[in-house]
């Protein structure tokens, strides 16, 4: 059966950002695996299998877990990194595999700031901070105030001007390595209460120097990181930024702030905003199906920039409707992708896409629905 591209559901139409064309709009959201048992930031067999299975499952783009730009930027000692060449080589194996199956790969570049050096979030572990005696390290933030989660036990070092410059340089160096590692896109992680969000949220940044204060001061770090990453990353490939679009608090960061920041980031050459929320301080979050889609929609229309919607998107009809209503340009799946690594293949079937137009890899072809 032949079908013209425009007859396909939007979910299975390609999207082009700069000169990167991604085969469909069902993408994998970044998800920490905490699986680097060697604690050297080098992805291993687990990561090959995990990301490989998502690539053959038909996702258009697979975003890596939060990948630290410095050892101190790791959330847990078992996070992946991109601060040395061993890590570049290990990631290359994964991106080569994904490309062999027509899947694009993005890397989420991250610094956890005051939320670093915590015990990996696995059911087998007891949550808490990792003390120096067990391989933990000095964490940094905009001020010496710790966060209000498990990281509350940290003594935080407030970053100096030089320290901040070092963070910006580390993001740029990681972006250069990301290209050597074969990635197609980089995403700056500026959400979920990690370092860049710690700087732009008024709940965590009470600095009075040029890195704090008003909107411009508090957003300076994320803007400088975006500028440095854009300069270090090939012109023909896209840069994304994940924002916490709101803090879910009356005294916190609001959607209108995100729209304004997204417009600034667009001028700096950012190509897509990945609209998540929360994480910098305790809040009551009304989670439910598609609960963050209004943020992707508000930023898309308010700042005129492509967006990704994420958060409790699980159904093929639900995903297609978000795209058809123009609320986002792509959808990201996290937990649903863990439950069903072949979700795009199932979604294509459910939406009536002929198997020949669905993202089946040849070795799996006999599994197509009839
Ligand atoms: C196991 C797991 C790990 C996660 N790690 C990250 C991460 O590294 N970076 C990030 O930005 N979000 C992370 N998230 C959040 C997801 O990307 C996503 O925004 C969130 O789970 C909501 O989407 P969902 O309802 O499809 O799961 C993680 C979520 C899960 C379930």
Residue 278 sits in which domain range?
Answer: 25-360
75 CA closest ligand 1 atom index: 8
- Say if 296 falls within a structural domain: yes
- Say if 2 falls within a structural domain: no
- Say if 7 falls within a structural domain: no
6 CA → ligand 1 middle, Å: 31
Beta bridge partners of 333: 28
Please identify which of the residues 34, 194, 200, 291 carries the catalytic annotation.
194
pLDDT digits (tens, 9 = 90+) for 55-95: 999 999 999 999 999 999 999 999 999 999 999 999 999 99
Kindly state the average pLDDT of the residues 145-153.
Answer: 96
Torsions phi, psi of 62, nearest 5? -110, 120
pLDDT at 224: 99
- Say if 366 falls within a structural domain: no
- Hunting for tokens 């960061």 — which residue is that? 253
- Say if 368 falls within a structural domain: no
Cα 199 → chain centroid: 18
Which residue's CA lies nearest to atom 4 of ligand 1?
A: 31
pLDDT at 3: 46
188 CA → ligand 1 middle, Å: 14
pLDDT at 266: 99
pLDDT at 260: 98
In this structure, is the dihedral angle defined by the CA atoms of residues 105, 325, 191 and 200, taken in order, positive or negative?
A: positive
> Residue 54 pLDDT more than 60?
yes
Ligand 1 neighbour 30 (Cβ under 6 A): yes
Q: How many angstroms separate the CA atoms of 90 and 45, rounded?
A: 9
Kindly state the average pLDDT of the residues 338-359.
Answer: 97
| Stated pTM of the model | 0.98
Which residue's CA lies nearest to atom 22 of ligand 1?
A: 311
245 CA → ligand 1 middle, Å: 15
- 3-state DSSP of the chain: CCCCHHHCCHHHCCEEECCEEECCCEEECCCCCCCCCCCCCCCCHHHHHHHHHHHHCCCCEEEEEEEECCHHHCCCCCCCECCCHHHHHHHHHHHHHHHHCCCEEEEEEECCHHHCCECCCCCCCCCCECCHHHCCCCCEECCCCCCCCHHHHCCCEECCHHHHHHHHHHHHHHHHHHHHCCCCEEEEEECCCCHHHHHHCCCCCCCCCCCCCCHHHHHHHHHHHHHHHHHHCCCCCCEEEEEECCCCCCCCCCHHHHHHHHHHHHHCCCCEEEEECCCCCCCCCCCCCCCCHHHHHHHHHHHCCCEEEECCCCCHHHHHHHHHCCCCCEEEECHHHHHCCCHHHHHHHHCCCCHHHCCCCHHHHHHCCC
Q: Two tokens at 110?
A: 């991250």
pLDDT at 1: 40
- Say if 340 falls within a structural domain: yes
Which residue's CA lies nearest to atom 7 of ligand 1?
A: 31
Q: Is 200 a catalytic residue?
A: no
Question: β-strand 307-310 against 239-244: which pairing, if any?
Answer: unpaired
Q: How many angstroms separate the CA atoms of 33 and 366, rounded?
A: 31
Which residue's CA lies nearest to atom 28 of ligand 1?
A: 31
- Say if 165 falls within a structural domain: yes
pLDDT digits (tens, 9 = 90+) for 180-217: 999 999 999 999 999 999 999 999 999 999 999 999 99
Measured CA to CA in angstroms, residue 238 lies from 253, 270, 293 at distances of 26, 7, 22
- Say if 216 falls within a structural domain: yes
8 Å CB contact between 359 and 23: yes
Residue % of the chain over a pLDDT of 70? 99
pLDDT at 264: 98
CATH of the domain at 286: 3.20.20.70
> Residue 4 pLDDT more than 70?
no
Residue 261's pLDDT band (cuts 50, 70, 90) = very high
Residue 6's pLDDT band (cuts 50, 70, 90) = confident
The CA-based angle 324-335-355, given to 5 degrees, is 55
Ligand 1 neighbour 223 (Cβ under 6 A): no
241 CA → ligand 1 middle, Å: 15
8 Å CB contact between 142 and 130: no
pLDDT digits (tens, 9 = 90+) for 85-120: 999 999 999 999 999 999 999 999 999 999 999 999
Number of domains the chain is built from = 1
Kindly state the average pLDDT of the residues 265-284.
Answer: 98
Which residue's CA lies nearest to atom 23 of ligand 1?
A: 311
Torsions phi, psi of 363, nearest 5? -65, -15
Ligand 1 neighbour 280 (Cβ under 6 A): no
> Residue 320 pLDDT more than 90?
yes
Ligand 1 neighbour 336 (Cβ under 6 A): yes
Residues written for the chain:
370
């Amino acid at each position: 059966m032949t079908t013209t591209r425009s007859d396909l559901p939007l979910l299975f139409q390609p999207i082009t950002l700069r000169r990167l064309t991604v085969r469909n709009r069902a993408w994998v959201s970044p998800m920490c695996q905490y699986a680097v048992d060697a604690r050297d930031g080098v992805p291993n067999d687990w990561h090959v299998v995990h990301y490989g299975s998502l690539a053959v499952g038909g996702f258009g783009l697979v975003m890596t877990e939060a990948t630290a730009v410095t050892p101190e930027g790791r959330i847990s000692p078992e996070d992946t990194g991109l601060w040395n060449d061993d890590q570049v080589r290990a990631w290359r194996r994964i991106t080569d595999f994904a490309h062999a199956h027509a899947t694009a790969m993005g890397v989420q570049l991250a610094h956890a700031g005051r939320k670093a050096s915590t015990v990996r979030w696995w059911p087998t572990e007891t949550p808490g901070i990792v003390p120096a005696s067990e391989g933990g390290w000095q964490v940094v933030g905009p001020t010496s105030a710790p966060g209000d989660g498990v990281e509350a036990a940290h003594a935080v070092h407030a970053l100096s001007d030089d320290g901040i410059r070092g963070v910006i340089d580390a993001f740029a160096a990681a972006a250069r390595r990301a290209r050597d590692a074969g990635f197609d896109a980089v995403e700056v992680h500026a959400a979920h209460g990690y370092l860049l969000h710690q700087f732009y949220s008024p709940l965590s940044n009470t600095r009075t120097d040029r890195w704090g204060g008003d909107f411009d001061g508090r957003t300076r770090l994320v803007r400088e990181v975006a500028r440095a990453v854009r300069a270090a990353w090939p012109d023909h490939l896209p840069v994304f930024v994940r924002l916490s679009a709101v803090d879910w608090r009356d005294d916190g960061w609001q959607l209108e702030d995100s729209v304004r920041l997204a417009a600034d980031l667009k001028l700096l050459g950012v190509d897509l905003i990945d609209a998540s929320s929360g994480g910098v301080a305790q809040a009551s979050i009304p989670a439910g199906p598609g609960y963050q889609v209004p943020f992707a929609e508000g930023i898309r229309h308010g700042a005129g920039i492509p967006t990704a919607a994420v958060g409790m998107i699980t159904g093929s009809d639900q995903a297609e409707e978000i795209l058809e209503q123009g609320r986002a340009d792509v959808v990201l799946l996290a937990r649903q992708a863990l439950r069903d690594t072949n979700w795009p293949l199932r979604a294509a079937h459910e939406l009536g896409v002929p198997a020949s137009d669905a993202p089946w890899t040849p070795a799996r072809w006999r599994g197509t629905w009839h």
